[in-house]
């Protein structure tokens, strides 16, 4: 099958993308608004981009219900600061709670029974229940397209990292069986990392 995405409607293209780009890590993004209200929401269009400086990216899609701009994007563009928390199996259900489309002044920490912990380098709090939190400042935001299906790619520079004490092994690698992150698939499907195989790097 050969597909020209221009012949599909936006929803069909979205379904292909989220079905094929899998599994996606989940950035659980905490932000604050001008008044200091907390906001928390999951974003699976997420990845690491560089390590000097350390950079992370998320993509925030257009939301008709929010006049285009989701609360997370509004807060990041206003304050220039955000925290990306990692979602573990233990916090999967709470993460899902925080994806509810609620008004901007609703604190999703309280909604999902989570604990905001003070960050060290930025104003928005981290999620105390998360094993890892990356405190970021906004580097750039890139709007791509307009209307439904469009998105804003946000690039953040990591200013501080919270890492739960038991996660690192003696060689400085994160132990995946302690982190227990979950991944997003299409629709309501998620995955655990429970089938790992080794393949030594090729060095030519
Ligand atoms: C696991 C998961 C991943 C999600 N990933 C994204 C994403 O990458 N981009 C996006 O715009 N929305 C994503 N969403 C939807 C947002 O979390 C949802 O629109 C949320 O209400 C936004 O909240 P906010 O307005 O407080 O930012 C995701 C939802 C879930 C449950």
Q: Pairing relation of β-strands 116-117 and 182-184? A: unpaired
pLDDT of amino acid 135: 99
pTM, to two decimals = 0.97
SS3 63: strand
Query: Which atom of ligand 1 lies at the shortest distance from residue 151's CA?
Result: 11
Helix (H, G, I), strand (E, B) or coil at 169: coil
Nearest ligand 1 atom to the CA of 75 is 27
Task: List the residue whose alpha carbon is closest to atom 18 of ligand 1.
Answer: 99
Question: Ligand 1 centre and the CA of 201: distance in Å?
Answer: 35
- Cα(173) to centroid of ligand 1, in Å? 29
Pocket of ligand 1 (CB under 6 A): 26, 39, 41-45, 59-61, 66, 70-72, 96, 99, 101, 184
Rounded Cα distance, 158 and 171, in Å:
22
CA 43 to ligand 1 centroid distance, Å: 5
Which residues, listed in sequence order, are joined to residue 83 by a DSSP beta bridge?
30, 135
Residue that the structure tokens 């960050």 belong to: 119
Å from CA of 95 to ligand 1 middle: 10
Q: How confident is the model at residue 68, as a pLDDT? A: 87
Tell me the C-alpha distance between 93 and 165, whole Å.
23
Ligand 1 atom closest to Cα of residue 102:
21
Q: Find out whether 53 and 157 touch, Cβ atoms under 8 Å.
A: yes
Looking at domain 21-182, its CATH superfamily turns out to be: Electron Transport, Fmn-binding Protein; Chain A (2.30.110.10)
Domain residue extents for the chain: 21-182
Would you write out the chain's pLDDT as a tens digit for each of its 204 residues?
Answer: 999 999 999 999 999 999 999 999 999 999 999 999 999 999 999 999 999 999 999 999 999 999 889 999 999 999 999 999 999 999 999 999 999 999 988 999 999 999 999 999 999 999 999 999 999 999 999 999 999 999 999 999 999 999 999 999 999 999 999 999 999 999 999 999 999 999 999 876
pLDDT in tens, 43-58: 999 999 999 999 999 9
Amino acid 204: pLDDT: 65
**Would you say how long the chain is, in residues?**
204
From residue 52, give the alpha-carbon distance in Å to each of 85, 171, 191: 20, 20, 30
Residue 172: left (phi > 0), alpha (psi -120 to 50), or beta? Answer: left
Measured from the Cβ of residue 192, the count of other Cβ atoms closer than 10 Å reads 13
Give the ligand 1 atom nearest the CA of 46: 8
């Amino acid at each position: 099958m050969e597909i020209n995405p221009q012949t599909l409607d936006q929803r069909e293209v979205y379904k292909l993308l989220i079905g094929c780009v899998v599994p996606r890590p989940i950035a659980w993004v905490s932000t604050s608004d001008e008044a200091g209200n907390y906001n928390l929401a999951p974003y699976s269009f997420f990845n690491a981009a560089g390590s000097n400086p350390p950079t992370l990216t998320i993509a925030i899609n257009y939301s008709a219900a929010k006049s285009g701009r989701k609360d997370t994007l509004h807060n990041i563009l206003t304050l220039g600061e955000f925290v990306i928390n990692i979602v573990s199996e233990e916090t999967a259900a709470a993460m899902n709670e925080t994806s509810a489309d609620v008004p901007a002044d609703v604190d999703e920490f309280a909604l999902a029974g989570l604990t905001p912990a003070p960050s060290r380098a930025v104003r928005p709090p981290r999620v105390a229940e998360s094993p890892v939190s990356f405190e970021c400042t906004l580097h750039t935001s890139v709007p791509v397209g307009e209307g439904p299906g469009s998105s804003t790619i946000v690039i953040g520079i990591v200013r501080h990292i919270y890492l739960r004490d038991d996660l690192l092994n003696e060689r400085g690698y994160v132990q995946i069986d302690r982190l227990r992150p979950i991944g997003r698939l299409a629709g309501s499907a998620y995955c655990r990392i429970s089938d790992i195989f080794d393949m030594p790097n090729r060095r030519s």
